[in-house]
Amino acid sequence: MAIISALLIAAVVAVIAGGMLTRQTVFTRSLEAEQLRVQGAWLLQGGVEISRQLLWDARQRDPLTRLDQPWAQPIVAQRLSQRGGAFEGRLMDEQGKFNLRNLVANERIDHEQQRIFERLCELIGVSHSLGQRISQRVISAYPRLLNPELADRTPVKVGFDSGRTTSPSAARKPLPPTQPMLRSLDDLRSVEGMSDELLAKMTPYVTILPANTWLNGNTASAPVLAAYVPGLSVQRAQALATERDGGQWFINRGDFVNRLRLPELNLDSIKVGITSDWFHLSGQSRSDQRRVSLSALLHRSQDRLPEVIWARVGV
């Protein structure tokens, strides 16, 4: 009995010790994971701050936005923390792409921008039907006037408004959006016919921003330029882009228009400039064996450091 009791006591002690060791191991691992998470977050924040400073310095040195400026080069920052770690990333000019937000302007559907998007879809190999579904999805996410022509002709009247559709001011009231607002192209995955391959095909040429924007002729690719300028072939647009990237940057809007060599073009409808305010940062922090990715939208203004509009970690 004494031997059996001793064995039972030893077994109980072993079980208790094993449980304590297991709990200690789990606690240690969770603590290490939390430390790595915090360190990864700090590394990502360091990458964001470097990107903001690059964009700010570029604006102070040159009002133009060009692809030969430091912000357009890969960002590699080593030892951003005391325990080491690095950040690698890249800034992309979002105004070098077609902005889907431009499909609706001043609570009105912009039919010219619709035609530009249709031309771009044709040039990059996106079907006409899918392009139409994308346009409908974007348009449904913003308030818009049902009859803009009638709203423009209806005088503004001050007084009681019944709120009915027969009210004199009803024509000036925009229809509320029927779909959630889009923040990035990833939000288009719910559109019928959209796939990861098509989304990857569209990403270099299409974006969606919180505001209406002009295209930057100094950063736009040949297909986007050809879509924006009626009568401009992809071959001619590619020649312009090659000439531009070789160092002959567009110095102003007039320079861009002159080098198109299209005298019959209606210049008022060509919304192409030479500066940018919206940039996308993609990158990852690296610490030991842990990798944390980042996707963020930055907005640059003239009087302060660029602002982070949204950021997604681990995507």
Q: Which region among 26-35, 65-74, 88-97 has the lowest average model confidence (pLDDT)?
A: 26-35
Q: Residue 26: what pLDDT? A: 61
Q: Which position has the token pair 């160092």? A: 247
How far apart CA 260 and CA 238 sit, in angstroms, is 12
Q: Residue 157: what pLDDT? A: 53
* Residue 307 predicted with pLDDT over 90: yes
Angstrom distances, CA of residue 118 to CA of 55, 111, 177, 191: 32, 10, 23, 16
* Residue 151 predicted with pLDDT over 80: no
Interhelix angle 128-139/111-124, nearest 10 degrees: 140
- Average per-residue pLDDT in the chain? 86
Main-chain phi, psi angles of 150, to 5 degrees: -65, -40
163: left (phi over 0), alpha (psi -120 to 50) or beta: left
Q: Residue 61: what pLDDT? A: 93
pLDDT greater at residue 36 or residue 54? 54
Report the CATH superfamily, name and number, of domain 41-96+277-315.
Answer: GSPII I/J protein-like (3.30.1300.30)
Q: Residue 37: what pLDDT? A: 54
Segments making up each domain of the chain, as ranges: 41-96+277-315, 217-271
Q: What is the mean pLDDT of residues 41-66?
A: 91
CA nearest to 49, candidates 305, 315, 280: 305
